[in-house]
Structure 1
Amino acid sequence: MNLDHYLNRIRFTGDPRPDRSTLTALMQAQLQTVPFENLDQQLGIPVPTDVESAYTKVVDNHRGGWCFELNALFRWALTEVGFEVQTLAGHVGDNGESRTAPADHMFLRVDCEEPLLVDTGFGGSMIEPISLFQATSHQPPYTLSVTDEDNGWFRFSEQLPGGEPTSFDYKLISVDDIHFDEISKSLQTDETSSFRRMLKAQRRYSDRHIILRGCIKRTIGPQGMNEQVLTSSKALLDCLQDDFNLDVPEIASIWSKINNRHAELFG
């Protein structure tokens, strides 16, 4: 793995140093060039958790990935630059109900001036680091917060104006990649998993956030939200190419499955 090749992939042209401004710039560069996506999961292609595979997929093959890939890759890059990084485990869900289930989200702790929560794999609401312990951050169009809950638990939440928050709970206990092996396999093979049931892609731009779920593309920006329904395999391929810079023509072979799943979920 080569740091310069990674920096070229995310179009980072600065001089990387282990400081707060570089951390923010690297995070924004990766989020704006590497989409969150689950196309392999939709195609039935196994997705491993090792960082070497993530590097090959993202850097060499110009693809995106999900949290186990994107945050593992970002952790490697930050470590190469000289940052102090730990991997943390999050439980995605509302009101603490997910805490008894296996942790299903990987994100990062980066100690840089203060302990920071860094996440390039939750879909793209976060565009810069925030405090790991307690904070509110307005990162338009989102409001992000970290709250101290109970018994050592913290909660990260993201919210759009007028919308319901999406969150994950966590403790300040570092884990290794093996920690996520079983849940990664489950999310890829369990037919009730949202990663199996629905195609997903998200990409953060400097002025907007584009989200694809099933056949619905939402663009959220300063003027509000625009929604478009994709009605053909060509429209899907064009969307993936134009909005997410993803060239995966084989996804057209499962258009009928994507369309049927969309109908089951949304009517």
Structure 2
Amino acid sequence: MSEPRLTYLNLYLQRLGFSATPAPTLETLRQLQLRHTGAFPFENLTTLSGEPVLIDLPSVEQKVLHQGRGGYCYELNSLFLALLQDLGFNVRGISGRVVLGQPEGTWTARTHRLSLVTLDGVRYISDVGFGGMVPTAPLMLDTLDEQLTPHETYRIEQHEDGYTLRANVAGEWRAMYVFDLQRQEGIDYTLGNWYVSTHPDSPFNKRLMVSLTGEGWRRTLSDGSFTIHRIGSESERREVRDVDEVIELLAHEFDLRVPAQPHVRQSLARMLVPA
């Protein structure tokens, strides 16, 4: 591995709380995914400000590891895939269709990126870029059993067109996304990212979405609505109506450094609930 890649790997692992390079084991994967979802926020500030979302690895590394930012699936799962590959995991990128919040049976665009990891002949999906419902542990693919994570319980259903990931939310098994194992190339992710970041119907262009996980909680910011979801107890919600308050909230609750450019403030102002 070249010196720049070693420097990147050491910095990445330090951000995730590792003092040494871990072995490519299932326990390592579990710790990496849990810590990643708690260290790097899911966020769409770039799309809201009208800037292009660059998903080549050097650009993502610079944004997330050096600029105090997070990203969405095409950024976070790209970065995480490269980390797993550098650590020696058998892993490749796959894709899916987000159906969360849609009527059962809805078939949406293929706009979600995740990863398939094989360990000792057992296949798992690993995902660090699914917003406020991101799984905080890898999930075994070839089982119908319910699977516990440090947060919600998930299960994977197999059907003719692939698989559906479901999460148990308030006692209801809600579909998160459908996916398959079709080979993906860079152009596939480029097209999906272009749609998500530029199409007028994309929700990423219409509202602020930020989320982060921690021990026993999830934090989300949707436009001006900030929520702390505590596992096993009532959620705490409050409205935010001031841009400076939003920027302070992003820094203290999501460890997110907001770019100082005026157009970023303007885009945040458009998302806030009117006073």
| TM-score strictly above 0.5 | yes
Q: Does 1:171 align with 2:147?
A: no
Aligned position for 1:146:
156
Q: How big is the alpha-carbon RMSD for the aligned residues of Structure 1 and Structure 2?
A: 2.0
Aligned position for 2:111:
104
Aligned position for 2:46:
40
Q: Does 1:115 align with 2:123?
A: yes
> Is contact 1:92-1:168 (8 Å) kept?
yes
Aligned position for 2:27:
21
Q: Distance in 2 between matches of 1:230 and 1:81?
A: 41
Q: 1:174-193 alignment to 2 at 5 Å?
A: 174-193=183-202
> Is contact 1:141-1:220 (8 Å) kept?
no
Residue 256 of structure 1 and its aligned partner are, at CA, apart by 2.9
- Which amino acid counterpart does residue 255 of structure 1 have in structure 2? L
Q: Distance in 2 between matches of 1:96 and 1:41?
A: 28
Q: Distance in 2 between matches of 1:199 and 1:212?
A: 7
> Secondary structure, in 3 states, of the residue corresponding to 1:121?
coil
Aligned position for 1:252:
265
Aligned position for 1:205:
214
> Is contact 2:94-2:116 (8 Å) kept?
yes
Show CA shifts across 1:13-58 (max 9, x none).
3541111111111111211110100011111110022222111111
Show CA shifts across 1:196-235 (max 9, x none).
0001101011221001111111111132211111111121
> Secondary structure, in 3 states, of the residue corresponding to 2:235?
strand
Structure 2 CA distance for partners of 1:96 and 1:51, relative to 1, 3 Å: farther
| Structure 1 alignment gaps of length 5 or more | none
Q: Distance in 1 between matches of 2:48 and 2:175?
A: 23
Q: Distance in 2 between matches of 1:243 and 1:163?
A: 28
With the length of structure 1 as denominator, give the TM-score of the two structures.
0.90
Residue 166 of structure 1 and its aligned partner are, at CA, apart by 4.1
- Which amino acid counterpart does residue 205 of structure 1 have in structure 2? G
> Is contact 1:142-1:161 (8 Å) kept?
no
Identify which of 169, 174, 188 aligns with 1:160: 169
Structure 2 CA distance for partners of 1:136 and 1:242, relative to 1, 3 Å: same
Greater mean deviation of Cα atoms: 87-96 or 52-61: 87-96
With the length of structure 2 as denominator, give the TM-score of the two structures.
0.87
> Is contact 1:232-1:255 (8 Å) kept?
no
Number of residue-to-residue matches in the alignment = 259
Identify which of 229, 234, 239 aligns with 2:239: 229
